[in-house]
Amino acid sequence: MKKKSNFKSILKSAKKNIPGISGLLGKRPDMFLKDDSWPTFYKKAKGINIWDLNNKKYFDFSMMSAGTCALGYADPDINKTAMRVIQDGSISTLNPPEDVELSELLIKDNPWADSVKFARTGGESMSIAVRLARAYTKKEKILFCGYHGWHDWYLSTNLNSKKNLDTHLLPGLNPLGVPKGLTGTLIPFRFNNWEDLEKKVKKFAPKCAAIVMEPCRESLPDKEFINEIKRISKKNNCVLIFDEITSGFRLNSSGAYKQIKVIPDIVVYGKTIANGIPMGAIVGKKKIMENSLKTFISSVFWSEKLGPACALTFIKKHKKNNVSKKLILTGKKIKKIWINAAKQNNLQIKITGIDPLASFKLNTKNWPATLTFFIQEMLKNKILAQDKCYTNYMHKEADIIRYKDSCEEVFNRISILEKKDKIVENLNGPIKEMGFNRLTN
Ligand SMILES: Cc1ncc(COP(=O)(O)O)c(C=O)c1O
């Protein structure tokens, strides 16, 4: 007999013991549903399927763990590598040779670079890149665009105005706990925005250690815009840092920057680089990277073996199986599903994002309520859904058809309720918390 679920008691205890329940904002149940119906915890995950504490099986068409496992959950090749590493000792007083093999592979794939450092999470990898840029240029200010982690250097943006991160992350973020001494060190500019490029980037670049940006957000940047960023960074001795933590390994088997043919000084990879095993890589030019020995950058777990071993397995499999082609193709299908389901039901829809990470927004009177209803109804069909979808190598045709049928059904219900102004009335709980602006605007 199956063990009786203790979901309710675990949720109760989590609410009591763990602020926000999850270590990741995007995995807090309130980001999906606020009525305790979101499964919240999982027992097992395989491919695109997740089993909750009641052994109920779901199909993940939402964040796929924030895009950390492009090959699917519990990929057999990654698992094989991970188990071998654990059996042979995942850490010791000596270092893993996999670090060296991975550095060779990353330098081969980013041939303008000649030095690599490893970390384990995206935010800390970005902190390293920024520290290196400051150490190299002896300048303090940073021009940036987009999201780059939770650390003080980044959140200090909001010290002089709580609105500074509104279009980069979330509206009104409070930089509580961030030293006031960092005020004015971060200067935000908007992606692909010529006005900001003229007024901010050109003005502040001489004082800046780095220009930090994702080379691809909702879309790739205009060629002239990104060329101009590169020209300004070179002219003013600013380190150009491309954050590929989300965009990497989606459009090709390396960085999205390859599509725009602009070379940075440092590129940072994270998230899916080891398919769910913590790993981060800072890849850059030696003259900048060697400053890691002049300042102090060091951490015990940056020397363990699981991360680099699984990253090697991931990158090799990604290339061999042309994983990005599949991610793009599936993304195109998902976009089409949303467009057709909206059209069939006379709903106006806006689609944004690159194919492997697309999002939609329906033009209804109350979008947060509509989205809550969408998630609630998709969950009844055992689909974990959001207004965005990280496509996955394991999204099979039958899964996509299941998602399509479900979208059509739920969009139809939305259309009927919208006409009667009854969406809020049909919610089982309060309206969900809204997520990252950067993925929806
Ligand atoms: C572009 C980008 N940079 C940095 C980060 C921070 O990475 P982590 O959450 O692993 O610290 C993220 C995470 O979503 C990201 O998308």
- Written in H, E and C, the secondary structure of 67-108 is HCCCCCECCHHHHHHHHHHHHHCCCCCCCCCHHHHHHHHHHH
Domains by residue range for the chain, with CATH: 76-320 (3.40.640.10), 322-441 (3.90.1150.10)
Q: Kindly give the pairing relationship between strand 280-284 and strand 388-390.
A: unpaired
Q: Which atom of ligand 1 is nearest to the CA of 146?
A: 1
- C-beta neighbour count of 390 within 10 angstroms: 29
Taking alpha carbons only, the member of 108, 81, 93 closest to residue 309 is 81
Query: Looking at the DSSP assignment, which residues form a beta bridge with residue 97?
Result: none
Contact at 8 Å (CB) between 58 and 384? yes
In 3D space, the residue among 62, 39, 52, 146 whose CA is nearest the CA of residue 407 turns out to be: 62
User: Is 311 in a helix, a strand, or coil?
Assistant: helix
Ligand 1 mean position, distance from CA 246 (Å): 7
48-106 pLDDT, tens digit each: 999 999 999 999 999 999 999 999 999 999 999 999 999 999 999 999 999 999 999 99
From start to end of 95-238, where are the E strands? 115-119, 141-145, 186-188, 208-213
Crossing angle of helices 397-419 and 323-344, rounded to 10°:
30
Q: Under DSSP, is residue 69 helix (H, G, I), strand (E, B) or coil?
A: coil
- Establish whether residue 276 lines the binding site of ligand 1, counting it when its CB lies within 6 angstroms of any ligand atom: no
Dihedral of alpha carbons 362, 367, 372, 377, sign: negative
DSSP H helical segments within 272-396, as ranges?
286-289, 306-320, 323-344, 367-380
Strand partners, 211: 143, 240
pLDDT band at 440 (very low <50, low <70, confident <90, very high): very low
Using an 8 Å Cβ cutoff, are 254 and 248 in contact? yes
Per-residue tokens: 132: 């290196």
Decide whether any atom of ligand 1 lies within 6 Å of the 280 Cβ.
no
Q: Ligand 1: which of 148, 151, 212, 357 to mutate, judged by most atoms within 8 Å of the beta carbon? A: 148
Q: Ligand 1, closest atom to CA 280?
A: 10
Q: 270: Cβ below 6 Å to ligand 1? A: yes
What are the φ and ψ backbone dihedral angles of 8, each rounded to 5 degrees?
Answer: -60, -45
Asked if residue 245 has its Cβ within 6 Å of ligand 1, the reply is yes
Is 232 a pocket residue for ligand 1 (Cβ < 6 Å)? Answer: no
The tens digit of pLDDT for each residue in 355-406 reads 999 999 999 999 999 999 999 999 999 999 999 999 999 999 999 999 999 9
Helices in 110-243 by DSSP H: which ranges?
122-137, 152-155, 194-196, 202-204, 223-235
pLDDT tens, residue by residue, 17-36: 999 999 999 999 999 999 89
What would the mean pLDDT of 146-162 be, rounded to a whole number? 95
pLDDT in tens, 107-143: 999 999 999 999 999 999 999 999 999 999 999 999 9
**Atom of ligand 1 at shortest range from CA of 243:** 1
Instruction: Convert the pLDDT of each residue in 290-316 to its tens digit.
Output: 999 999 999 999 999 999 999 999 999
Among 433, 416, 104, smallest CA distance to 281 is for 104
Of ligand 1's listed atoms, the one at least distance from the Cα of 26 is 14
Task: Residue 270: name the closest of 130, 390, 122 by CA.
Answer: 122
What are residue 350's DSSP bridge partners?
A: 361
In order of 63, 184, 195, 420, the CA distances from 310 in angstroms are: 21, 40, 43, 52
The pLDDT score that the predictor gives to residue 439 is: 41
Strand, helix or coil for residue 57: strand
According to the model, what pLDDT value does residue 51 have?
98
